[in-house]
Structures are given as C-alpha cells and as structure tokens.
C-alpha cells in the first residue's frame, strides 16, 4: 500500500504551492505527498516502496544502469543565470560535518588540479558519498552521485537526478554509500525534497535536492556552507570516463564566474556519472571540528565543459534545515 504523507515547510517562505506531479509512466514509483509546501516540493516513500526499490536493484540492473550525462546550458541560459536577481540573502551559513566514524581513516585531497584521481571511499570526507541508482520516467536506468550533508540522515544530489523538471518524479531510487566496484552500504530513501522552481520548470538555479534516508550513514557526513566562501575545492563523482563509473573520483578546480544564481568551477568537470557530486572545500586530512564543507555540486555544463552549480544561499540552507528536521514525515 502507498501511504500519502503531507509535507510542511513551517511557513518559512511565501511562494505559491507547487502543482501536483504526474506518476512516472510505465514504472512503479512513490506516491506524491499531494500537499507540497510553500518553497519545497517533496515526495514521501513508504516502507513498501523503499523495500521494492532495494529489491529492484539487482547486481545485473546496477551494471546495466548508465551514468547520467550532466545537462548542458546555452550561453544565453548561462547569462540569464548570471544576471538573474538574487533570490535569497547573501549571508554565509554554516553547518558542521562529522569527524568521521571511529576507525575510519582520513584522506587528504589530491594536489593535482584538473586531473581526476581515485578517492578512497573508506576515508572521510569521501566515505560520506556514494552512487545513486534511478529509473527515469521512460524506464531507462541511470546513476548519479550523492553524499550525506549536514546530517547522517540527509543526502544531497542534483534535482535532475530525482525529477524530470516537468512535474514528474523518477522511480526506484536507491543509494549505495561507499560503492566501489560493487559493495557498500545500501540505504533506502524516505523523503525527497526539491525547490518547486526546479520540479515544475527545470530552473537550473535550483538544481539541488535533499533526501531524508531511512537509516544512518556509517561513513559520516559533510558540512555545508552557503555563498561560496572559498577560491578552490574538490568535486567528487562516479565518472564514466574514469573507472567506468564503478569507483569514486575527485578532481580539484578553482572558482570561476560567480552570479547570484550560479557558480562556475574551472578545470573540474568529470562528465557523465559525476552529476550530483559535492564540491568539497577545506578538505581536512585530520578533521576534528571544522572543514569538509559542501559548497556546491556538479549540476550542469556549458559547451566549454566547465562545471556549474547553483549558488547555495539562504533558500538552499532553509531547504536543508527542513529536510534535516524530517518535515516531510515518513511512516
């Protein structure tokens, strides 16, 4: 039985309620909450749906799933994002990450800029990430990257990894933390939340999603910062071009053009499969209290192949807090 759950944003925003999505065609998917809150569009997955998704992803289907190509934008679209007015306060907000579980080694960032190197998924901060398996509305199987951010129960990924941006959710979502040539911690997803502007219109300035999981991360979680307060960072992902999408890679890059709605990463594009992977700044080899912040994510590219992320702002922070509070309650 599918259980419909109402989702609330606690009155933090004043945008109109998002329209009701359509069920994925030709595939069994979760039921929409039916009462998308102002400023947040969420879908709750009941226990039967979560169990079905885990059962759906056999080893054979995991091998068949194709790394998702990141969306591309035209120069005209990019200019719109760069010149668009700010939609949230330009205030730096911070949530600290975990120091890592007991017995987990710490990993230093690669010192090579622009060249992907394999990341150790058994070491923080990379142990927070993993591979997201999804079924599109047309039935195609694909993979993205996701990671725990702000909490041991909240995943971050790109919105285009969970919805088509036209009012429909994708189906059979399942996450494997620490995936490396198979294996890892399989984690069910309880509630998926995205900004209504992306869910209804595919607005790339809002191409991020936060997901409340049904169990804790055993690999820790990343911190979170808004307003891109760093000049360089590393991005992570499961790129098809490196490791055939079967292992996590990291690549270093630097801050490029910054607009009110978008941020450019120079020299850090890894292509298909890496979409949804976090931009991690201030990587600490021996993290104690600070460092390892998610400040953006792999969301889309231009023809120049540089990577872009929505600019995390007060709206992003607010959405993350709502998901951390599990305001879209699950059974």
> Hey, is 326 helix, strand or coil?
coil
| pLDDT at residue 241 in the model | 86
Partners of 135 in the β-ladder:
141, 171
| pLDDT at residue 326 in the model | 87
The pTM score is: 0.85
> What are the structural domains of the chain?
41-324 (2.40.10.10)
Query: Based on C-alpha coordinates, what's the Rg of the chain?
Result: 18
| pLDDT at residue 1 in the model | 30
| pLDDT at residue 110 in the model | 56
| pLDDT at residue 107 in the model | 53
What contacts 24+ positions apart, CB below 8 Å, involve 19-25? 19/167, 19/200, 20/167, 21/163, 21/167, 21/168, 21/169, 21/199, 22/167, 22/168, 23/168, 24/135, 24/136, 24/137, 24/168, 24/169, 24/170, 24/171, 25/137, 25/138, 25/168
Query: Structure tokens of 301?
Result: 């590219």
| pLDDT at residue 158 in the model | 98
| pLDDT at residue 3 in the model | 31
Enumerate residues 6+ apart whose C-beta is below 8 A from 110: 117, 234, 250, 251, 252
Whole-angstrom Cα distance, residue 271 to residue 324?
Answer: 29
Whole-angstrom Cα distance, residue 71 to residue 61?
Answer: 23
Whole-angstrom Cα distance, residue 189 to residue 15?
Answer: 26
The DSSP letter of residue 10 is T
What are the average pLDDT values for consecutive 10-residue runs of the chain, which has 331 residues? 34 33 35 48 94 95 93 84 72 87 51 81 95 96 98 98 96 97 94 96 95 95 96 95 90 92 88 93 78 95 84 95 81 41
């Amino acid at each position: 039985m599918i259980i419909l759950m109402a989702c609330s944003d606690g009155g933090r925003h004043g945008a109109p309620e998002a329209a009701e999505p359509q069920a994925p065609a030709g595939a069994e998917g979760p039921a929409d909450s039916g009462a998308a809150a102002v400023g947040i569009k969420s879908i709750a997955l009941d226990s039967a749906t979560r169990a079905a998704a885990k059962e759906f992803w056999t080893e054979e289907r995991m091998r068949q799933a194709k790394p998702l190509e990141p969306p591309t934008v035209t120069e005209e679209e990019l200019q719109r994002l760069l010149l668009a007015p700010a939609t949230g306060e330009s205030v730096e907000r911070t949530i600290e990450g975990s120091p890592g579980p007991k017995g987990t080694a710490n990993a230093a960032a690669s010192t090579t800029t622009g060249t992907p190197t394999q990341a150790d998924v058994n070491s923080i901060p990379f142990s927070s990430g993993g591979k997201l398996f999804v079924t599109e509305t047309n039935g195609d199987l694909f993979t993205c990257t996701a990671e725990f951010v702000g909490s041991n129960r909240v995943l971050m990924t790109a919105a285009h990894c969970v919805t088509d941006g036209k009012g429909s959710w994708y189906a059979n979502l399942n996450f494997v933390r620490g995936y490396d040539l198979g294996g890892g911690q399989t984690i069910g997803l309880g509630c998926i939340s995205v900004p209504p502007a992306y869910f209804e219109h595919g607005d790339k300035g809002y191409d991020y999603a936060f997901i409340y999981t049904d169990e804790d991360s055993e690999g820790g979680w990343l911190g979170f910062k808004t307003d891109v307060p760093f000049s360089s960072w590393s991005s992570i992902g499961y790129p098809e071009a490196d490791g055939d999408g079967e292992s996590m890679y990291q690549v270093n890059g630097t801050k490029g053009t910054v607009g009110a709605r978008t941020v450019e990463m120079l020299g850090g594009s890894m292509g298909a499969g890496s979409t949804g992977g976090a931009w991690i700044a201030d990587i600490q080899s021996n993290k104690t209290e600070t460092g390892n912040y998610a400040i953006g994510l792999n969301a889309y590219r231009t023809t120049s192949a540089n990577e872009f992320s929505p600019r995390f702002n007060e709206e992003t922070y607010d959405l993350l807090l709502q998901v951390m509070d599990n305001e879209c309650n699950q059974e």
